[in-house]
Amino acid sequence: MATHSTIRDVARSADVSLGTVSNYLSGKKPISDVMRGRIEAAIAELQFVPNAAVRVMQGGRSHVIAFIVPDSGNPFFLEVARGIEDFAIDNGHVVVTCNTEGDLERERHYAKALSEMRVGAVIAVASTSNELLLSTLQKSGVRVVTLGRQLPGGLFPTIAVDDLRGGFIAMSHVLERGHRRVAFLGAPDAESQIRERFAGCVAAYSDAGLDPAELLRVDADLNSPTARSAASRAILALEPRPTAVVCANDVIALALEAEAIRSGLRIPEDLAIVGYDDIEGAAIAPIPLTTVYQPRYDLGHRAAELALSENYPASTEPPFAPSLVVRTST
Amino acid sequence: MATHSTIRDVARSADVSLGTVSNYLSGKKPISDVMRGRIEAAIAELQFVPNAAVRVMQGGRSHVIAFIVPDSGNPFFLEVARGIEDFAIDNGHVVVTCNTEGDLERERHYAKALSEMRVGAVIAVASTSNELLLSTLQKSGVRVVTLGRQLPGGLFPTIAVDDLRGGFIAMSHVLERGHRRVAFLGAPDAESQIRERFAGCVAAYSDAGLDPAELLRVDADLNSPTARSAASRAILALEPRPTAVVCANDVIALALEAEAIRSGLRIPEDLAIVGYDDIEGAAIAPIPLTTVYQPRYDLGHRAAELALSENYPASTEPPFAPSLVVRTST
DNA sequence: GCTGTGAAATGAAATGGTTCACTTCTTGTC
DNA sequence: GACAAGAAGTGAACCATTTCATTTCACAGC
């Protein structure tokens, strides 16, 4: 494995000065066609590949965007990641997805690795656990953007979707369909997004002149398949059974749908279901799922744009608006 | 944003020489406790973070593993990625997932970026389109490992699963269940893995004393939801309808299941379905899916291990063995 | 007290691309 | 033909770390 050729080799081979080759590569200064031709020939001949590390060493930042996410397998984040990646590529960057799985040690590993790499930007799904690490990164000069919600202190620019409104339109929808005995299938309040969605549901419930205390609720660990199934069965076992269920996300909504089908219920006649997220599986489910769509691709795309923008940190943006996708399940 | 402090600042603040700080950081030479104490104090005080780029500039390679994949959203690759990531983290590396989406230009962008970054290793899902790029990378000193199948020429160490055997056990299973009119729901032969699976099916069909020419087959673009549904309907429209279908992967098997349920068929009585991959959705489908499990996490983990191993390139490994997961759908 | 030995510490040189003050060349104007 | 001004090209110095030949030091053995 021959050692790499350097800009000096290119300059010598093209009989041109160092600075001219550098100008050719960076495009910051114009150069003549003669020089350009000679340099290009030399680069091709020597198979020269510039060493990106040097720019970083000089005090620059590497063309890497880190995406810090608790569960990269979640279809929602996957789509966000696509948005980030597309923008990153168009701007000569590369994305490192850091899957923390909620593990603090893993978060620390990534924070250390990213600092040492001098990453250009970090886009992180907001959570209380990573707040400290993010502010450390920010202090060392990394552009940080949080996703989903504003972290207390307002330190970081944030791209969010209006979850309150999402919960509101989901609940309004089933109430308009005439349902009066409704349940919310969610997760413990740790996640503030879930809390917001539930709050939106409560608001819609009140607005319809109903008593929010009568709104049923079952919680589950959304990341566990067995917990999802168990919570779904718990919903179906409520006496009397709700006629409609608004779910915290599509993954658990689909679990509920599967359980309902298995126990012989007709959807939407016996049970209406509303999901949240509009993941791919929602449209191709046995009973296509009514759900709240979040512009997740745009979310990621916009976050990357903000992170790399000239005038970072910009003032925090107004949240994106979710919309209802009505399908068969209601 | 104060500029970063350097190893020189640390040396000065700790009243110690440059080299000693370097030795402390790398651990390559022992140093006394006195020095250690002074250095640690200085590092803490200055909030020093070493600049990883310099090591790379000195001719080393960055602690980055690139995972080149045509569709990072595919649950199969997600799990492979988890295996890679876990190994990477344990070895102080970080993973860049490069989602090519089969786009040649995108592949080229990544090849360029990865070369310039001097990535340490590349793990790529084998495809004919990336062969040239991979060999270019390898020539420039990057460790390349291909995944799924050996690329012609045998240039790269490979980690694979025995798809021939997978197809064989899937087909054997439905034949043992007594089915005699069987279809294969797959994709055009471009993907050699699908080809292998089909070949395994044909082998099992012959072994059972049946005429392989009678084995039905429908193909679809596996990446398109609408194509999957259309192909599923095509299977159900065959006259006479097959009593069992072996599918090229779980995603399309689930589409078939959904279509079958929608048209009122009972599974497995009217139609038995076997998938391939054992994705998460297979177990929680309305009718839990019988499928061929591939040790995908191990696949990724082993690939990363191979890529970073001392004695890369090792001789190519024997393929991993798939196994059948029997559930309700057969 | 002298020497030999090994451990620890030192700092100049090297790594490769960018920067910038400086030189050289070209073109236009009167 | 002289001169100004802008364009293009040059190369030494710089960035933050590692490497390694050299120096320093402590201590054991005689």
3-state secondary structure of B218: strand
Residues 6+ apart with CB under 8 A from A28: none
Backbone phi, psi, residue B293, to 5°: -90, 130
Q: Residue B2 pLDDT more than 70?
A: no
Q: What is d(CA B245, CA A231) in angstroms, rounded to the nearest whole number? A: 33
Predicted confidence band of residue B191 (pLDDT cuts 50, 70, 90): confident
CA A41 to C1' C24 (Å) is: 25
- Confirm whether A38 is domain-assigned: yes
Please report whether residue B59 resides in a domain.
no
Residue A151's pLDDT is 84
- Cβ pair A50:B1 closer than 8 A: no
- Confidence label for A158 from pLDDT (cuts 50, 70 and 90): very high
- Quick one: average pLDDT of B243-266? 94
User: Does residue A58 lie in a domain region?
Assistant: no
- Tell me the chain B residues in contact with residue A75 when contact means C-beta distances shorter than 8 Å: 73
Partners of residue B99 in chain A, C-beta under 8 Å:
82, 85
- B139 to each of A93, B58, B112, B323, how far by Cα in Å? 23, 19, 14, 37
Percent of chain B whose predicted confidence (pLDDT) is above 90: 75
Q: In the predicted model, what is the mean pLDDT of residues A160-176? A: 95
Please check the confidence at residue A197 and state whether its pLDDT lies above 60.
Answer: yes
Q: Contact A255/B284, CB-based, under 8 Å?
A: yes
Whether residue B287 sits in one domain with residue B254: yes
> Does residue B272 share a domain with residue B180?
yes
- Neighbouring C-beta atoms of residue A328, cutoff 10 Å: 14
Quick: pLDDT tens for A112-121. 999 999 999 9
Average pLDDT of chain B? 91
| Nearest neighbour of A49 by CB, restricted to B56, B59, B116 | B116
CB–CB contact A51 B56 (8 Å): yes
The CATH number linked to B21 is 1.10.260.40
Rounded distance between C-alpha atoms, residue A185 and residue B273, angstroms: 31
SS3 letters for A174-202? HHHCCCCCEEEEECCCCCHHHHHHHHHHH
Q: Which residues, 6+ apart, have CB-to-CB distance to A112 below 8 Å?
A: none
Judged on CB neighbours under 10 Å (0-12, 13-18, 19+), A14 is buried
Quick one: how far is CA A260 from the chain centroid?
Answer: 30
Burial B72-101 (b: 16+ CB within 10 A, else e): bbbbbbbbbbbbbbbbbbeeebbbbbbbbe
Q: Packing angle between helix B296-308 and helix B75-90, nearest 10 degrees?
A: 40
Q: B72 to chain A: nearest residue by CA?
A: A78
Chain D, protein-covered positions (CB within 7 A): 7-21
User: Least CA distance to B138: which residue of chain A?
Assistant: A1
How far, CA to CA in Å, does A139 sit from each of A69, A133, B78, B114?
21, 10, 33, 28
What protein residues sit with their CB closer than 7 Å to strand C?
A 3-4, 6-8, 18-19, 21-23, 25-26, 28, 48, 50-51, 54-55, 57-58; B 16-20, 22-23, 29-32, 34-35, 54, 57-59
B277 and B195 share one domain: yes
Note whether B278 and B155 are same-domain residues.
Answer: no
Cα atoms in the 13 Å half-sphere on the side-chain side of B267: 28
Same domain flag for B270 and B174 = yes
Instruction: Decide if pLDDT at B40 tops 80.
Output: yes
Q: Least CA distance to B61: which residue of chain A?
A: A53
**Which residues, in sequence order, are bridge partners of residue A184?**
A217, A246
Please report the beta strands in chain A, taking only residues with DSSP state E, as ranges in sequence order: 62-69, 94-99, 119-125, 143-147, 158-159, 182-186, 216-219, 244-247, 272-277, 290-293, 323-325
Nearest to B53 among A56, A94, A255 (CB): A56
Residues 6+ apart with CB under 8 A from A277: A75, A76, A249, A250, A251, A291, A292, A293, A294, A296
**C-beta atoms of A54 and B57 within 8 A:** yes
Decide if A34 is inside a domain.
yes
Q: For A320, which DSSP code?
A: B
In this model, does residue A45 exceed pLDDT 80? yes
Mean pLDDT, to the nearest integer, of A20-39?
89
A167 and A290 share a domain? yes
pLDDT at A96 over 60: yes
> Quick one: tokens of B62?
């960055």
Q: Best residue in A117, A228, A262 to probe B by mutation, most B CBs within 10 Å?
A: A117
Q: What is the CATH number of the domain that holds A262?
A: 3.40.50.2300
Write the pLDDT tens digit of every residue in B41-77: 999 999 999 999 999 999 889 999 999 999 888 888 9
Do A129 and A195 lie in one domain? The reply is no
Q: Which residues pair with B77 in a beta bridge?
A: none
A304 shares a domain with A262: no
Sign of CA dihedral A265, A269, A271, A274: positive
pLDDT attached to residue B314 = 75
Assess contact for B246 and B217: CB atoms under 8 A: no
B-chain residue closest to A260, CA distance: B286
Residue B324 lies in a domain: no
Give the residue-averaged pLDDT of B174-203.
Answer: 91
Amino acid at A97: T
Distance in angstroms, CA of B30 to C1' of C6? 13
Q: How many CB pairs under 8 A join A and B?
A: 127
Looking across all nucleic acid strands, the nucleotide with the smallest C1' to CA distance from residue A30 is D8
The three-state secondary structure class of B106 is helix
Of all residues in chain A, what percent carry a pLDDT higher than 90? 76
The verdict on B91 and B122 lying in the same domain is yes
Q: How far is the CA of A44 from the C1' of C28 (A)?
A: 38
The answer to whether the beta carbon of residue B17 comes closer than 7 angstroms to any atom of strand D is no
A121 and A207 together in one domain: no
Q: Does A2 reside within a domain? A: no
Contact A242, A183 (CB under 8 A): yes
Instruction: Specify the 3-state DSSP secondary structure of A37.
Output: helix
* Residue A34 shares a structural domain with residue A183: no
Q: How many domains does chain A divide into? A: 3
State which residues form the domain around B91.
Answer: 64-160+297-319
Distance from CA of A231 to the nearest CA of B (A): 14
Does the CB of A104 sit below 7 A from strand D? no
B257/B168 same-domain check: yes
Bond before B295 cis per omega within 30 degrees: no
B136/D26 CA-to-C1' distance in Å: 54
Q: Do A70 and A222 touch, CB atoms closer than 8 A?
A: no
Question: What pLDDT digit, counting tens, does each position of B279-325 carry?
Answer: 878 988 889 999 999 999 999 999 999 999 988 877 677 899 999 99
Nearest-by-CA chain A residue for B282? A225
Residue A1: pLDDT band (50, 70, 90) is low
Instruction: Note whether residue B85 is domain-resident.
Output: yes
Q: Determine, yes or no, domain membership for A301.
A: yes
pTM, whole model, 2 decimals?
0.85
Residue A91 clears pLDDT 70, i.e. is over it = yes
B32 or B6: which leads in pLDDT? B6
> Mean pLDDT, to the nearest integer, of A238-249?
94
Contact A94 B117 (CB under 8 A): yes
A8 or B191: which carries more pLDDT confidence? A8
User: What's the token pair of residue A280?
Assistant: 């791919």
Chain A: closest CA distance from residue B204 (Å) = 32
pLDDT in tens, A104-142: 999 999 999 999 999 999 999 988 888 889 999 998 889
Predicted confidence at residue A210, as pLDDT, reads 93
